[in-house]
Amino acid sequence: AIQSFCHRDNSEAFVLVHYSGHGTFKIDDDSDEKSEPAKKSGFGGWGFRRRLNFPKDEILAVHEECCIVDDELHELLDFGPNVSALVILDCCHSGTMADLKYKYSASGGGIPRPVLSRKAGSEKKTHHRVVSISGCTDKQEAKMSQLDGETVGNLTKALLLEWRKAGGLQLPILTELFKRVQTQVQEFTSGNQNPQLCASF
């Protein structure tokens, strides 16, 4: 669906991409990611989770026969110069999954800072206007919750609640909306999920 949209004549379009599902990671094959402490997907022989430090690629595990690596997702999100895109990734290990240039830092006065997830010289190309909101950091797992009797991800729940309050979709993403959503998710999960905001500009 994303690929078909990219081949259309998209004049001054706005694209909303929402994924809520499984996310995982694998060892980085092309050595363009930095080493980072990560929680391994599997379990050890005694049933406990192990922490390993290795360069990794984050993955959207759409279903058994369809996995999208972060490098591939980054390429898919190149919609062209006249398109603004908001990408919502409500899944495990999704922090910098879109491989965008900047990461928003609430403690940095709202000024985007470079994402330090890639080795020097392997920076991705700059997209035009792409913003991503992720349910957690690259090292964290995203949990599920309940909303109106339905099972949804915590990030999706927080966004829906905020948009309902506002009476519809609003996009002051780099300021108040993200801060409110981040606070809600942290409250839902007792601080175990920390949503991330990244942008190409």
* pTM of the full structure: 0.77
- Segment 111-168, tens digit of pLDDT: 667 666 555 555 666 677 899 999 999 999 999 999 999 999 999 999 999 888 877 6
- Residue that the structure tokens 């360069």 belong to: 55
CB count, 10 Å around CB of 88?
Answer: 21
Amino acid at 114: P
Phi/psi at 151 (5° precision): -85, 125
Query: Tokens 């922090």 identify what position?
Result: 95
Q: What would the pLDDT profile of 162-201 be if each residue is shown by its tens digit?
A: 888 877 666 555 567 888 899 999 999 999 999 999 888 8
- 10-66 pLDDT per residue, tens: 566 888 899 999 988 876 665 555 545 444 444 333 333 444 455 567 777 666 667
User: What are the structural domains, with CATH classification, of the chain?
Assistant: 2-199 (3.40.50)
pLDDT at 99 > cutoff 80: yes
* Contact between residue 22 and residue 91 where contact means Cβ atoms under 8 Å apart: yes
The residue assigned the tokens 């909101």 is: 133
Strands 83-90, 129-134: pairing kind: parallel
